[in-house]
Amino acid sequence: MRYALTLPAMLERAEQFFPDKEVVSRTPAGVVRHTYRQYGQRTRRLAGALNALGVRKGDRVATLAWNHHRHLEAYFAVPCSGAVLHTLNLRLPPAHLAHIINHAEDRVLLVDSDLVPLLEPIAAELRTVEHYIVMHDGPADPTALPRAASYEALLARAEPVREWAPLDEWDPAGMCFSSATTGLPKGVTYTHRALWLHSMAFCLADTLAVSERDRILPIVPMFHVNAWGIPFAATWMGATLVLPGPRPDARVYCELMQAERVTFAAGVPTVWMAVLALLDTERYDLTSLNRVICGGAAPPRALIEEFERRVGAQFIHAYGMTEGAPLTHVSRLKSGMEGWDDDRRYAVRARQGLLTPGLEMRVVDWNGADVPWDGTTMGELWLRGPWIADEYYRDARSADTFRDGWYKTGDVATLDAEGYLGIVDRMKDVIKSGGEWISSVDLENSIMGLPAVAEAAVVGVEHAKWQERPLACVVVKPGAVLTREDVLAHLGRKFPSWWLPDEIVFVDEVPKTSVGKFNKRVLRERFARYLVEPRGS
């Protein structure tokens, strides 16, 4: 049977089979609850409001918002209407925001009231935005944005959409831009078909196993690659969604996990480090939590072990990227590994994992040949499949990244004998020393295994003889004591001497990107000449 794989079917399933399940949303006014029946009605009203504003098939509708129920309404109202949902990263600098909005040619922009100040200074530069819709609790605040309307007022007078217009599964449904540690952000468009198949893969038992029984807290922002696909998968399965709202922190996450009996939560490693730090001083009942998903950056093995020991939830490492919608690998053990000792099992689980069903991959050496599955030979990871991008949106950089039907990720990786992927580094982050390569990720994960270390990042800096040498930037936990010699002695037990950092620099904080990853570009710039110029010069 020819059947279009489009998003309206996901929303309709939640409305029909799980009408009394809830979307729980933390707002400045308190926790708000909507059943999927109510959520569907509001979503259909938003779609009607967008139609009344003249939004048509293919138009881009942007959001600048936290994780809450209104943002979730846009997740389905926009693409089910035939338009394209474009989630904006609220942590980007104004110049990047303006570039992205103009490049996507967004016609309508939904913005949280507390984020309006991010747009007001650049509104005059936004050439294509015709309407701003301000999402708020209580009375709407005055704004300098032109043609601004109240979200709730628009919904109140809108005619809800009863029947969705026919859509083709190859129609664009969503758009995200990379966070861009170098250059301007690059846009990726997702079709209905891609999001459908990605959501199905997301729910498989051997990937992330989302089900109707779950109560899911997406800590990952909804602007970060569609919150890793959680809003689509959770709604489709009829899971309870718990949305953390504006400006959340570790205390908010723990309070929500405790109060709402969350079973499944997803966030970057720095989130889980912050949760563990909070648990050092405050007590929360997190016994409902049976698994957490960690992505965005490689979690140190020590984090996986400590989280499972202290919280009791399974810690699942997932890997992906904007170009992969994002899920491409999940690190779950094969059944035959359950009898292995802890050291072997944790070593596997710290890798990026097995390829998600439905995708293909290659790890290619510098001569274009596939690397052996020996766990040590490095190459660049290439991917292809039904939810992998094949170009950047109107961007000449596509030619350098997409070749012969493959997406060249720019990640340096290995494959072990079981087929588990291990990311060694980004091509731009691997340290090139005397003709040999050193993995900054391996070094920093080892350093973060020290009990006294809160964070660590390793970067390559200029060296007169060896081209580059590693330099480690280390954040010590409050009250802990750690010396340069302690770090080097620890690393010396695991790595060859020529891998060891030439210097250990103790810093107050490792700078982060807009999505919470370590921003090594800032460190490389700060310490660029550290090893070739006398200190204090």
Q: Specify the higher pLDDT residue, 270 or 222.
A: 222
DSSP 8-state assignment for residue 283: -
Q: Please report, rounded to a whole number, the percentage of residues in the chain having pLDDT higher than 70.
A: 98
Q: What is the pLDDT of residues 414-451, one digit of tens each?
A: 999 999 999 988 877 888 787 677 889 889 999 999 99
Regarding whether 512 and 372 lie in a shared domain, the answer is: no
For 244, 281, 298, 371, 420, the CA distances from 349, given in Å and listed in that order, are 28, 28, 11, 21, 9
Lookup: tokens for 203 = 């729910």
Q: Which of 168, 190, 212 is the last residue of a domain?
A: 190
Look up tokens 């809450």; give the residue.
68
How many distinct structural domains can be found in the chain? Answer: 3
3-class secondary structure, 122: helix
Does residue 182 surpass a pLDDT of 90? no
Within a domain: residue 208?
A: no
One-character DSSP codes across 76-89: HHHHHTT-EEEE--
Using the Cα atoms of residue 48, residue 54, residue 60 and residue 64 in order, give the sign of their dihedral.
negative
**Among candidate residues 170, 190, 210, the one where a domain is terminated:** 190
Residues 155 and 83 in one domain: yes
Place 387 in a pLDDT band, splitting at 50, 70 and 90. Answer: very high
* CATH classification at residue 57: 3.40.50.12780
State whether the Cα torsion 468-421-347-221 is positive or negative: positive
Q: Read off the pLDDT of each residue in 371-400 and give the average, rounded to a whole number.
A: 95
Q: What is the 3-state secondary structure (H, E, C) of 494-523?
A: CCCHHHCCCEEEECCCCCECCCCCECHHHH
Instruction: Write down which residue in 158, 190, 222 finishes a domain.
Output: 190
pLDDT at 430: 83
Residue 280 above 80 pLDDT?
Answer: yes
Least confident window among 75-79, 248-252, 496-500: 496-500
385 shares a domain with 452: no
Is it the case that residue 537 has pLDDT exceeding 50? no
- Is 374 found in the same domain as 512? no
Instruction: Judge whether 299 and 317 are in contact, CB under 8 Å.
Output: yes
Region 173-190 average pLDDT: 85
Residue 402 has a pLDDT of: 96
Domain boundaries, position 385: 360-426
Output the pLDDT for position 86.
Answer: 98
446 with 507, same domain: the answer is yes
182 lies in the same domain as 67: yes
Please report the pLDDT score of residue 536 as a whole number.
Answer: 54
The CATH number assigned to the domain holding 386 equals: 2.30.38.10
Average pLDDT over residues 455-462: 93
CA distance 413 to 371: 10
Q: What are the tens digits of pLDDT across the range 459-501?
A: 999 898 888 899 999 999 999 999 999 999 999 998 989 899 9
**What is the predicted pLDDT for the residue at 181?**
53
Decide: 234 and 293 in contact? Cβ < 8 Å: no
Task: Verify that 15 and 106 share a domain, yes or no.
Answer: yes
Phi and psi torsions of 104, nearest 5°: -75, -15
What is the per-residue DSSP string for 8-68?
Answer: HHHHHHHHHH-TT-EEEEEETTEEEEEEHHHHHHHHHHHHHHHHHTT--TT-EEEEE--BS
pLDDT in tens, 298-331: 888 999 999 999 999 999 999 999 999 999 999 9
**Does residue 164 sit in the same domain as residue 30?**
yes
Please provide residue 22's backbone torsions phi and psi, each rounded to the nearest 5 degrees. -115, 150
Does residue 382 fall inside a structural domain?
A: yes
Say if residue 250's pLDDT is above 70. yes
pLDDT, tens digit, for every residue of 342-368?
A: 999 999 999 999 999 999 999 998 789
Q: Which of 494, 443, 508 is nearest to 470 (CA)?
A: 443
Residues 436 and 421 in one domain: no
- List C-alpha distances in Å: 506 to 472, 474, 477: 8, 5, 11
Average pLDDT estimate for 364-389: 94
Q: Does 239 map to a domain?
A: no
CA-closest candidate to residue 29, choices 76, 70, 62: 70
Q: CA angle, 300 as apex, 294 and 305 as ends, to 5°?
A: 80
What is the structure's pLDDT at 428?
77
State residue 535's pLDDT score.
61
Helices marked H in 136-249 = 151-157, 192-202, 230-237
440 and 393 within one domain: no
Residue 136 lies in a domain: yes
244 within a domain of the structure (yes/no): no
Rounded distance between C-alpha atoms, residue 62 and residue 72, angstroms: 13
Q: Is the pLDDT of residue 138 over 90?
A: no
Looking at residue 11, what is its pLDDT?
Answer: 98
The pLDDT of residue 534 is above 70: no
Nearest-angstrom CA–CA distance, 287 and 276: 14
User: Going by C-beta distance under 8 Å and a sequence separation of 6 or more, which residues neighbour residue 275?
Assistant: 250, 253, 254, 311
Structural domain contains residue 392: yes
The answer to whether the CB of 395 falls within 8 A of the CB of 374 is: no
What pLDDT is stored for residue 290 in this prediction?
Answer: 97
Q: Can you tell me the distance from the alpha carbon of 223 to that of 67, in angstroms, rounded to the nearest whole number?
A: 8
Handedness of CA 457, 462, 464, 466 (dihedral sign): positive
- 270-517-346 Cα angle (round to 5): 55
Distances (CA, A) of 72 to 194, 199, 367, 447: 19, 16, 46, 39
Kindly report which listed range (83-87, 245-249, 365-369, 397-401) carries the lowest average pLDDT score: 365-369
CATH number for the domain spanning 467: value is 3.30.300.30
**What is the sign, positive or negative, of the torsion defined by CA atoms of 242, 81, 55, 191?**
positive
**Mean pLDDT across the chain:** 94
Tell me, yes or no, whether 378 and 522 share the same domain.
Answer: no
Domain membership of residue 405 (yes or no) is yes
Assigned domain for 277 exists: no
Q: Output the CA torsion 290→478→221→332 (10° steps).
A: -40
**469 and 417 together in one domain:** no
Residue 180 has pLDDT above 70, yes or no: no
- DSSP label of 402: E
